[in-house]
Amino acid sequence: MDKIIIHGGRKLRGKLNISGSKNAALPILIATLLTNEDCEVKNVPSLADIDTTIALLKHINKNVERHGSKIRISSNAHLKHTAPYELVKKMRASVLVMGPILARLGEVSVSLPGGCAIGARPIDIHLDGFEKLGANISLRGGYIQVKAEKLKGARIVFKYPSVGATENLLLASVLARGKTIIDNAAREPEIVDLARVLIKMGAKIRGAGSKKIVVEGVKKLNGFAHEIIPDRIETATYLIAGAITKGNVVLKKAEGNLLKAVIRKLRESGMKIIVNNNTINAVYTKTLKPVNIKTGVYPRFPTDVQAQWMALMSVTKGKSIIEETVFESRFSHVGELQRLGANIELKGNRALIKGVERLSGAPIMISDLRAGAALVLAALVAGGKKTTISRVYHLDRGYEHLEVKLRELGAKIRRIK
Ligand code: UD1
């Protein structure tokens, strides 16, 4: 397994291009299951989760050709209706094939995703939604089977605005008979991007990006060409890299409007953030202040940036509190940050952080994707010995060319095989 070695202490300076959004690309690639026509998706990052999605589409019987960040998808045969355990266990978002396959074939069988490093993460909201559209659900041999001869539009009220459930129900209801209303829907920018694609395909959708999405089912959908939005979580991670190393980074092909909550908190802490057309510049000009955050659904502070914020607060003089409200146990980075010398106390879903003068390098291990980003950020400022980070495969799920990009900004980082 690969490892990353970082010699901390360098200020990051320079420019880099932000990649396309992983979390927007996944459901959009899966939306190609809704049509037999050719589709083209641009600005797709090169990531392990994208490889898994391509493997999934091929398993279901799609032709997939990849040319750099452009992916072309066409159909050659009948779709299969299963998503096997080997793929679903690699990536929970595989469950998003349920919606489109159910809508097209009337049945789908997907391995139950099971537990994961950031909490139980059930899919009950997805399944309740399918039932409202008239589907029957059963569990056999670890597989969830969903059947419905023809989906019928309905009013669905989510008990929580789940991102995945909103996407899955959108992907199903566009081909259902009649009108579907998704109430208490998630409002994340990735949902808006998916809706844009579905509308290009001929779907009738109103309200994506608001709490109430209205879908009028159509009989058939067509192909599309689409360019994925910039990755707001990658953007936030590099802005924090600029802050933690007291540097000056310019992020190109980025979209400041998608991460207002993070930019607000960085400014509150004392960073100078300049947002221009497709470019964000983060400049360290003065000692940073501790700033509390509480994660929440969009447009509140994203849970996917909580760990990175904790790395920053670990070396920001003074006390801060981080409250996690989206996932029940998303603090697996705490123990490893402590190994680097961070002073963090956990109390339920809150972390109390006392910023320390300096962290010191040590061997550490990644337990999930964003925890990994936090550890890399901390390692960038750890003094003394180098930091060796293992289980890098978690990072490869969500950060395109991470060490190449950080090296471009002047970090001393390398990967060993
Ligand atoms: C997506 C993102 C992930 C991000 C998360 C929250 C993708 C591929 N992943 O994950 O990076 O951290 O949104 O912004 O886009 N829940 C249930 N029942 C369900 C579904 C969810 O109880 O049926 C709970 C989850 O356990 C969690 C919360 O709702 O506590 C949020 O989950 P959800 O919004 O569904 O996140 P994902 O779509 O899995």
Amino acid identity for residue 5 in this structure: I
Query: pLDDT for 376-390, tens place per residue?
Result: 999 999 988 899 999
Q: Is the CB of 142 under 6 A from ligand 1?
A: no
- Kindly give the number of the ligand 1 atom that is closest to the alpha carbon of 302: 14
| 399: pLDDT strictly greater than 90 | yes
**359-360 and 382-383 strand pairing:** parallel
pLDDT at 141: 86
Ligand 1 centroid to residue 165 C-alpha, Å:
8
> How far from chain centre, in Å, is Cα 206?
24
In which residue are the tokens 């337990």 written?
367
Name the segment(s) of the chain with CATH classification 3.65.10.10: 3-19+230-416, 22-227
Q: Is the CB of 178 under 6 A from ligand 1?
A: no
Amino acid identity for residue 80 in this structure: K
pLDDT at 329: 81
Q: Whose CA is nearest to atom 1 of ligand 1?
A: 163
Query: pLDDT for 314-326, tens place per residue?
Result: 999 999 999 999 9
Q: In 245-368, which residue ranges form alpha helices assigned H by DSSP?
A: 260-269, 306-314, 333-339
Helix, coil or strand: residue 254: coil
Q: Which residue of the set 116, 120, 274, 404 is catalytic? A: 116
The mean per-residue pLDDT over the stretch 20-48 comes to 97
| 122: pLDDT strictly greater than 90 | no
339 and 375 Cβ atoms separated by less than 8 Å: no
Between 206 and 122, whose confidence is greater? 206
145 and 131 Cβ atoms separated by less than 8 Å: no
Ligand 1 centroid to residue 121 C-alpha, Å:
7
| 160: pLDDT strictly greater than 50 | yes
**279-283 and 318-323 strand pairing:** unpaired
CA distances from 141 to 97, 138, 321 (A): 19, 10, 43
Question: Which pTM was predicted?
Answer: 0.96
- Kindly give the number of the ligand 1 atom that is closest to the alpha carbon of 128: 23
pLDDT at 142: 85
The CATH architecture of the domain made up of 22-227 is Alpha-beta prism (3.65)
Q: Is the CB of 365 under 6 A from ligand 1?
A: no
Ligand 1 centroid to residue 189 C-alpha, Å:
14
Q: In 188-305, which residue ranges form alpha helices assigned H by DSSP?
A: 189-200, 232-244, 260-269
pLDDT at 114: 57
pLDDT at 115: 47
Q: Is the CB of 124 under 6 A from ligand 1?
A: yes
Helix, coil or strand: residue 130: helix
pLDDT at 118: 52
- Give catalytic status of residue 39 as yes or no: no
CATH of 3-19+230-416 among 3.40.50.300, 3.65.10.10, 3.60.110.10, 1.20.810.10: 3.65.10.10
In 107-237, DSSP assigns E strands to 107-111, 136-140, 143-147, 155-157, 179-183, 204-206, 212-216, 224-227
Q: How far apart are CA 281 and CA 385, in angstroms?
A: 30
